[in-house]
Amino acid sequence: MTHPKAETVTRGPRPLSAAWGLAAALFLLGSPHCQARQGPRVFTCEPEWAALVVELMPRAQVASATTALQDPHHIEARPALIAQMRQAELAVCTGAGVEEGWLPVLQQRAANPKVQDGSPGMFYASDHVTLIDPRAATLNPLAGDIHPGGNPHLHADPERVAVVARALMARMQQLWPQHADEVAQRHAAFDQRWTSRLTVWRDKARGLKGQRVAAQHSTFAYLWRWLGMLQSMDLEPKPGLPPTPSHLRSLLQAWKVQPPLATVVAAHQDPRAGRWLVDHARPRRMLLVLPATVADPTKPMALDHWFDEMIEALLRAASAPTPTEASVAAETG
Ligand SMILES: [Zn+2]
């Protein structure tokens, strides 16, 4: 008997050098819609915001500091990124602590007044939406990366993406009044399309409501919430701390009582903990490796495709028969 692929979407080695190459290539190429490359230079911390910039202003020369294969919490403030930051007229980042380990270094070393905190050219998506799951702050380093201000991974909520898009439009119009009409038109087209996508996704994913998932970190927490799903297990023993064998073993009993739909890890996360769990937990469930953001922000409708992919993968997991032992071993080994 065959069953749908247990591991879905992109997986594979984490080619860091290739990822940096991609970031550089994006900067050089700008958007595919703009052969003349005359538009303003925009630096983004994460690819989802690069995709949004491309939606609103295809002429922009946009570079993303990270790719879907990198953990946005932890990258190096490399010289190439400092150079990009130095030339940027606008920087678009998530904020709320995601980039606190590297963005301030870039801002300081680039010494570009346009993209310092408080300048109109520094746009934080998290300033424009409410965040879920705020926690009490702690100074204990063993407490993990707890995002005390709330979960910053807000781009996994398509409704919050729409709110950010509107705020980004306004910021672009403020920075570049000469392009205000164009940005408004692009935004109107995006917003109309996005609204209809929301309806499609809601209808499609109705059967996922109430389902439980095991997942690593709070990466997809906004998506679970939007879909009415519940992350009943976190592979991390504490937010931001890597999974440990004893913590994973402790999940097995709860799994038996209330098995989740699947175990989900992000494409940039180490999949070994998730593999161990699906190998040892009973009843068996799929391991879904999902990209935590868009793969190529310069592709048209990159954000749409990312949500499509995630919802399709979850629906496949929901409709699939329980994976057989052999196929799970073959595909997760
Ligand atoms: Zn996080």
Between the CA of 38 and the centroid of ligand 1 the distance, in Å, is 35
**Fold agreement (16-128+144-201, 208-332):** yes
Asked whether the beta carbons of 235 and 272 are under 8 A apart, the reply is: no
pLDDT at 138 over 90: no
* CATH number attached to the domain at 16-128+144-201: 3.40.50.1980
Percent of the chain residues topping a pLDDT of 90: 77
Cβ atoms of residues 99 and 45 within 8 Å: yes
What distance in Å separates the CA atoms of residue 153 and residue 284, rounded to the nearest whole number?
29
pLDDT for position 139: 54
Predicted pLDDT at 144: 59
CA of 258 to the centre of ligand 1 (A): 26
Listed range (142-151, 162-171, 252-261, 307-316) with the worst mean pLDDT? 142-151
- Give every CB contact of residue 199 below 8 A, 6+ residues apart in sequence: none
- The whole-model pTM stands at 0.86
Give the Å distance between the CA of 221 and the centre of ligand 1.
10
DSSP-derived pairing of the beta strands 90-93 and 122-124: parallel
Contacts of 58 by beta carbon, 8 Å cutoff, 6+ apart = 31, 33, 34, 39, 186
What is the domain partition of the chain in residue ranges? 16-128+144-201, 208-332
- pLDDT of the residue at 32: 41
- Residue 36 makes CB contacts below 8 A (sequence gap 6+) with 59
Residue 292 CA to ligand 1 centre (angstroms): 11
Q: From ligand 1's centre to the CA of 1, what distance in Å?
A: 38
Asked if residue 4 has a cis previous peptide bond (ω within 30° of 0), the answer is no
Dihedral angle sign, alpha carbons of residues 240, 157, 19, 58? negative
CA of 147 to the centre of ligand 1 (A): 7
pLDDT above 50 for 105: yes
Tell me the C-alpha to C-alpha distance, in Å, between residue 78 and each of 23, 62, 82, 85, 116.
12, 17, 6, 11, 18
Ramachandran angles phi, psi of 61, nearest 5°: -95, 100
Instruction: State the pLDDT confidence band at 238, using cuts at 50, 70 and 90.
Output: confident
CATH-assigned architecture of domain 208-332: 3-Layer(aba) Sandwich (3.40)
239 CA → ligand 1 middle, Å:
8
pLDDT band at 50 (very low <50, low <70, confident <90, very high): very high
Above pLDDT 70, what percent of the chain?
A: 82
Q: What is the whole-number distance in angstroms between the Cα of residue 133 and the centre of ligand 1?
A: 12
pLDDT tens, residue by residue, 273-310: 999 999 999 999 999 999 999 999 999 999 999 999 99
Q: Following CA atoms 60, 63, 69, 72 in sequence, which dihedral angle do they give, to the nearest 10 degrees?
A: -110
Q: How far is the centre of ligand 1, averaged over its atoms, from the C-alpha of 48 (Å)?
A: 15
DSSP letters of 57-112? -TTSEEEES--TTS-TTS----HHHHHHHHH-SEEEE--TTTTTTTHHHHHHHHT-
CA of 322 to the centre of ligand 1 (A): 30
Say whether pLDDT at 2 is over 90.
no
151: CA distance to ligand 1 center in Å? 7
Residue 275's pLDDT is 96
| CA–centroid distance, residue 97 to ligand 1 (Å) | 8
Distance from the CA of 71 to the center of ligand 1, in angstroms? 9
Q: Residue 204 half-sphere exposure, CB side, CA atoms within 13 Å? A: 16
